[in-house]
Amino acid sequence: MKLMVTFSRKRGREPVIAQVVRDTGVLINVERAQIDSHEGEALIEVPDESCQLVRERMEALGATTRRLDRTILYDRDECVDCGACISICPQDVFAFDPEWQLVVEEGKCVLCGKCQLACPHGALTLQL
């Protein structure tokens, strides 16, 4: 399960994610993080069965969490199988099948947004 975690840096430089890993014993995969002097935002992946535990502990530490059931929405009707998204995606979310039709492995997406900008037919929409 993917979670978007937002935390304020006003509380200091507490390592929220590391603290939650230590407190819960749940291994957290950080897929993307953006941190500035005011706040931080991280996209993390946690095992489905531990999602609630991780969320509760993070929120107790002052972070907000948002569950992401979808990452990128793919509109097959708009797609012209041009392959622009295949070359630009850093996570290999896209590929062609043997009939040269696009296949999408949404679970690998880290919400960088590059494919949405690259698609000439508006067939891809980030689910933020």
**Chain positions contacting ligand SF4, by CB under 6 A:** 72, 79-85, 88-91, 93, 102, 109-115, 118-119, 121, 123-124, 126
DSSP-derived letter for residue 30 is E
Residue 54 or 85 with smaller CB distance to ligand SF4: 85
The candidate with the shortest Cα–Cα distance to 44, out of 25, 61, 13, 68, is: 68
Please state the closest distance from residue 101 (CB atom) to ligand SF4, in A: 9
Cβ nearer to ligand SF4, comparing 59 with 78: 78
Kindly state the smallest distance separating residue 6's Cβ from ligand SF4, in Å. 19
- Cβ at position 65, least distance to ligand SF4 in Å: 20
